[in-house]
Structure 1
Amino acid sequence: MRAVVVEQYAPIDQIGLKEIAVPEPAPGQIRVRVQAASIGFVDGLKVEGRYQTKDPLPFTPGAEFAGVVDAVAGNVAGITQGMRVMGAARSGALAEYIIVPPEAVEVMPDALSMEAGAAFRTNYLTALYALGERGRLRAGEQLLVLGAAGGTGVAAIQIGKLLGARVIAAASTDEKREFARSFGADAVVDYTKSDWRDALKEATGGHGPDVIFDPVGGEVSVQAFRSIAWNGRHVVVGFAAGSIPALPFNLPLLKGGLLIGVDVAQIARREPDAQTRVMAQLSAWLNDGRLVPVVGKVFSLEDFRAAFTTMQTRAALGKMVVRIAE
């Protein structure tokens, strides 16, 4: 089978597409013929060996995928050959086949495309868990979404609207701000401007955001917290800007604010009931048509490097998807 293989940690332009053996599932595992996989900032960091944990070499990057169950080993119940599934794994998705335990996948709604399935699970699980379970976002509150045109950002806009919030989207270009508006943002601000907090204050009617959804990090995160409403909740989901901010401890005191961390990779293990609730709500929204996942640009497997480059240069609108097979 064809697979992207990282033999040494390196920039993506030094990573190759190779022919390797089709893996066989062991007892308690399934094999999925991958039709689409999506990539995010974590995947780019892992390829270069810059993530907080390193995948043993050699490895195939890519955590999220959608495809068709191709083989089922013994000791597996509830999964059969031919099922359309979407899932997430530590790595291995940028290949024609992937081996995973059955709990790593969800059966896909019939109306969902493979590309949408590959871009859906982590972004929307993160957004709803962060805003609903941790941020306790309520109808009528004001939500600020940083990095609003990225994969998790646009998911947070959609989820925020479904939860009844007024959404202010912060993004760095006119194109990204209009993209955010097209998916429901009520107002937009340009956080690259020195006076962007004044624009945010105006957009919230002087109130400040009740909840901040933050996949960006860097200095903009500290400035956003300075604008938070009394008893506001700042939910940290990532550091796409590439730097981890240091928050002065007097700010939570002065604002009565909460700084909340979300690591989607740990939810299933640490809070399985929360994951079940969130996925059930997402599935209900998908099935009744209230939620339509956003797919960014789609690349062929041969062009996987371009997908990474688009994501890493922050030129992406939505989440980048690699089509593995038709």
Structure 2
Amino acid sequence: MKIRYKGSGMQSFLGTRFDIDSFAIVDQALPEPAPGQLRIRVEATALGFVDGLMMQGRYQIKPPLPYVPGGEIAGVVDAVGPGVTVPAVGERVVTWQLGGGFAEYVVVDAADVDTVPNELPLPIAAAMLVDFQTAHYALFDQGRLTAADTLLVLGAGGAVASAAIQLAVRAGARVIAAAASEHKRKAACELGAVHAIDYSLPDWREALKQLATEGIDAVFDPVGGDMFEPAFRSLAKGGRYLVIGFAGGAIPSLPVNLALLKNATLHGVDIRYFLSNRPERARRIRSSLFSMAARGHLLPPAIITFPLASARDAVQAVFSRDRHGKILLLPHMDAGAEE
């Protein structure tokens, strides 16, 4: 079954080698879903650091070339292959793939999609899909966060950190945010952080000690780099350190005696491992997160949108530390409507 559409082709942002400059808008044949698959008319694709790394061939997984980037995809089912009964044509869905979202249409396995509540705009669903799930997995599955804990959130202006602040506050934890700009610190406090410190200052750990005299129970770290060791040193006895990513660029190292002295644990947060090994729990969490956002119990990130024609600009914006929002590509957006 198919929705009728004009033409028999589509546009995508495709690269023939692992070099961002090799990517360009191309015309392609409209893909047809095979058995067990469906086709999505892409309404929004959210971007993260992984997308830029994939395009450069610097991610641990190298996709086959030619490659269309963009994995955090939301849209409307517009065709289904043999054997697919749910979701049906016309349903609003999200999916996380290794690529394909920088296009007007994408074909995926039907088992890989979730439906989106009608009350939740599709661009917001795309913006929440990975960051909120990652934050939830980090805090509650890996970090075992409780209402008795004090949590330090590094890189507090980023999308995944903003999600972590909200989820931790809802769980009753005391949240201290850390960010380099006043705007980001203010935004973190508006989300529920009780304090926000400037970790670009040389004495930021002293400021943290004044706020948490007994130490930090857990650290949520999507930054890495120079922040890693001093933040680890700020843990209380038995503290947990959650490694989300390395937005700061450098992958740091740690003197292992610190873990012994602190009786602390270091937890990697590999969201893909969680999704593949506990798919039903992951699906329930996604549904709950979308439902909370649709009811206004979670604030989605601010979004910055680009049309497909400006896909390269969208990728470059992901790496800008001055941005204040989640970058979204809207493949069917008018090229003159960028905001």
- Aligned pair 1:62/2:53, yes or no? no
Q: Which of 1, 13, 24 does residue 4 from structure 1 map onto?
A: 13
Q: CA offsets per residue over residues 98-139 of structure 1, 9 Å max, x none? A: 111122221111111121011111101001111011101101
- Aligned residue for 1:240? 247
Deviation at 1:82, TM superposition (A): 0.1
Aligned to 2:4: none
| Cα-to-partner distance string for 1:1-32 (whole Å, 9 max, x where unaligned) | 11111111113x55211211111111111110
Superposed displacement of residue 280, structure 1: 4.2
Deviations 1:56-85 (A, max 9, x none): 111100010111001111122421000011
Aligned structure 1 segments of 4 or more residues deviating by more than 6 angstroms: none
SS at match of 2:98: coil
Structure 1 residue runs without a partner (length 5+)? none
What code does the residue aligned with 2:234 have?
S
Structure 1 residue aligned with 2:32, among 2, 15, 24?
24
**One of 53, 71, 84 as aligned partner of 1:45:** 53
Match of 1:314 in 2: 321
**Aligned equivalents of 2:323, 2:150: Cα separation in 1:** 26
1:1-326, aligned counterparts within 5 Å? 1-11=10-20, 13-204=21-212, 206-325=213-332
What is the rounded CA distance, in whole Å, between the counterparts of 1:273 and 1:118 in structure 2? 20
Rounded Cα–Cα distance in structure 1 between residues aligned with 2:51 and 2:79: 26
* Contact 1:146 1:213 (C-alpha < 8 Å) held by counterparts: yes
The farther-off stretch of 278-287 and 121-130 is 278-287
Relative to structure 1, the CA distance from residue 155 to residue 285 in structure 2 (aligned partners, 3 Å threshold; closer, same or farther) is same
SS in 1 for 2:236: coil
CA distance in 2, matches of 1:317, 1:36: 18
Query: Is the Cα–Cα contact under 8 Å of residues 179 and 317 in structure 1 kept in the other structure?
Result: no
Distance 2:111 2:221 in 1: 28
- Secondary structure, aligned partner of 1:252: helix
Distance 2:226 2:281 in 1: 31
Counterpart residue type for residue 25 of structure 1:
P
Note the residue ranges of structure 2 that are not aligned, 5 or more in a row: 1-9, 334-339
TM-score w.r.t. the length of structure 1 is 0.95
Residues 120 and 294, structure 2, Cα contact 8 Å, conserved in 1: no
Q: 1:299 and 1:160 mapped to 2: Cα distance?
A: 31
Please give the secondary structure, in 1, of the residue aligned with 2:136: helix
Q: Over aligned residues, Cα RMSD in angstroms? A: 1.5
Q: Matched residue of 2:58: which SS? A: coil
Separation of aligned partners in 2, 1:276 and 1:237: 20
Deviates more, 1:93-102 or 1:280-289: 280-289
Larger Rg: 2
Aligned-partner SS, 1:231: strand
Percent identical among aligned pairs is 43
1:175 offset after TM fit, Å? Answer: 1.9
